[in-house]
Amino acid sequence: MHRVVITGMGCISALGHGAEACWQAMREGRSGIGPIAAIPTELLNVRVAAEVKDYDPLAHFDEKRLVLLDRFTQFALIAAREAVAQSGLPRAGGLGEDSAAIIGTGVGGQTTVDDSYRRLYGERVARVHPFTVPRMMANAAASHVSMEFGITGPAFAVSSACASANHAIGLAFDMVRRGQMRAAIAGGSEACITVGSLKGWEALRVLATDTCRPFCRDRRGMVLGEGAGIFVLETLETARARGAPILAELAGFGMSADAADLVLPSEAGAARAIAGALKDAGLAPERIDYINAHGTGTAANDVTETRALRRVFGDHAGRLAVSSTKAVHGHALGAAGAIELVAAVRAITDGVVPPTANFTAPDPDCDLDYVPNEARERTVGAALSNSFAFGGLNAVLALRRVE
């Protein structure tokens, strides 16, 4: 088994363009949540989201290529370019057949679906764009990443709703760890802020109408976000041999299924994924300093996640720094775990734990240290990043500092 390290990361979200901008906002607790601006809101009851701002697709893609790219694929490509550039992987001739592209997404090309259905059913135009299918398919992002970087090994999408990114990164991690792949580009992407998608979320009654306040007594629910996070994974040996930047070691991966309720989270299921990640990484619970929580801000998640952490960590739970950065970048569904891995990586490299922003007063049933509102200096030797999805699918990544 090889040790696997992250040598590059890219991110685009409501917090900014680029992993550095996103991290700075997370660290400062500066929220990217605001009134929805990019789509018409007259049919919506919930009118806040965490949208990617100041975004001009033509600054990144020429017109001819853009007609093939749904917004979620654009985000994935932008984040992948940043990650590969940071890693310094030589792109000439392509990354080749011993590299993989595995990109998680909850749904895929929702903007394309929404636009074509509005045309068809709303405007009664009996013709949709000929690239509707290749734009909307869930694997479009993985395919375009493979084409742009000449990745001719395994490339596919992974879909497990809000855990998609962590499942994708976990699978890629395993391929590199086993020596099957020399390098993998992995992460998640989602562009879910469409009228149709928002109406669906509204009807489930889990969206907040103000903002996202994870673990607080007055939390009202989640706020939808969008964006992408992409990482370059390599073995420690190859990374060292080529002098690549080593951001953190991806040390373990735990997954589980609740096999219970489709939407209500399960303490036991979450706990099994958390414990699984620790075991896989060979990390004793006491070694963990920071947890980037799933922390959606819904009534059910935050209490269940707190109990799951108490169950796994016992006495050490009180010494953990636990924060949810969804308070600032919203819930980006299939991209969530990837955007949040940026927080976990930077907590390790910078020795700073990002806060849970918008924090008012704690829910008495949420009794951990959620790092309210202010970032904290703390040496982070190891961290976990949690994702727990609708459908009862859980995926947890473990990171360790490389000395």
Partner 1 sequence: MISVQDQVYDIIAKEASIERARIAPGSTLKDLEISSLDAVQIIFAIEERFEIYMPYNNPSFDVDTVGGLVDTVERLLREKRTA
Contact in structure between 154 and 203 (CB atoms under 8 Å)? no
d(CA 76, CA 228): 5
Asked about 11 being catalytic, the answer comes back as: no
User: What is the pattern of x (binds partner 1, CB under 8 A) and - over residues 216-255?
Assistant: ----xx----------------------------------
What 8-state DSSP symbol labels residue 119?
I
The minimum distance between CB 324 and partner 1, in angstroms, equals 18
In this structure, the dihedral spanned by the alpha carbons of residues 302, 307, 309 and 315, taken in order and rounded to 10 degrees, is: 140
How many CA atoms, within 13 angstroms, populate the side-chain half-sphere of residue 144?
Answer: 29
Judged by CB, which is closer to partner 1: 199, or 319?
199
Among 208, 233, 303, 320, the residue binding partner 1 under the rule CB under 8 A is 208
DSSP for 315-366 reads GGGGG-EEE-THHHH-B-GGGHHHHHHHHHHHHHHHTEEPPB-S--SB-TT-
Distance in Å, CB of 260 to partner 1, minimum? 11
Q: Which is nearer to partner 1, 39 or 300 (CB)?
A: 300
Cβ nearer to partner 1, comparing 43 with 284: 43
Residue 378, burial from CB neighbour count under 10 angstroms (0-12, 13-18, 19+)? middle
Q: Of the listed 11, 22, 162, 212, which one is catalytic?
A: 162
Residues between 129 and 158 that touch partner 1 (CB under 8 A): none
CA 104 to centroid of chain Cα atoms: 9
Site string for partner 1, 272-311 (x = CB under 8 A): ----------------------------x-----------
Task: Select the span of 10-18, 129-137, 198-206, 366-374 touching partner 1 (CB under 8 A).
Answer: 198-206
Give the active site residues.
162, 294, 331
Binding site for partner 1 (CB under 8 A): 45, 203-205, 208-209, 220-221, 261-264, 300
